Amino acid sequence: MAAVVTAGQAHESKAFVELMEKVRPPRWTGWPLKVAGDKGYSYPKVRAWLERRAIVQVIPQRSDEIKYEGKRLLDRRA
């Protein structure tokens, strides 16, 4: 587990990469298989970062994303 503390008005998605760098396991095990987050992490930049590393996203879509991109499946069980 890891945490990144930011100012109250800072958007949580801005600290995403910094947070992920802190939770990255040793080199031989690679990145986590799945990452869960709330709608605050549902942004193209975050999703692209996860996709480049073949990490499954367990992040619900924001309503404006559904409107423009269509509904994505969300593994609620994960």
**Tell me, what's the pLDDT at 25?**
67
pLDDT in tens, 51-69: 998 999 999 998 888 888 7
Q: Whole-model pTM above 0.85?
A: no
Looking at residue 78, what DSSP letter applies?
-
Residue whose C-alpha is closest to residue 73's, from 55, 64, 60? 60
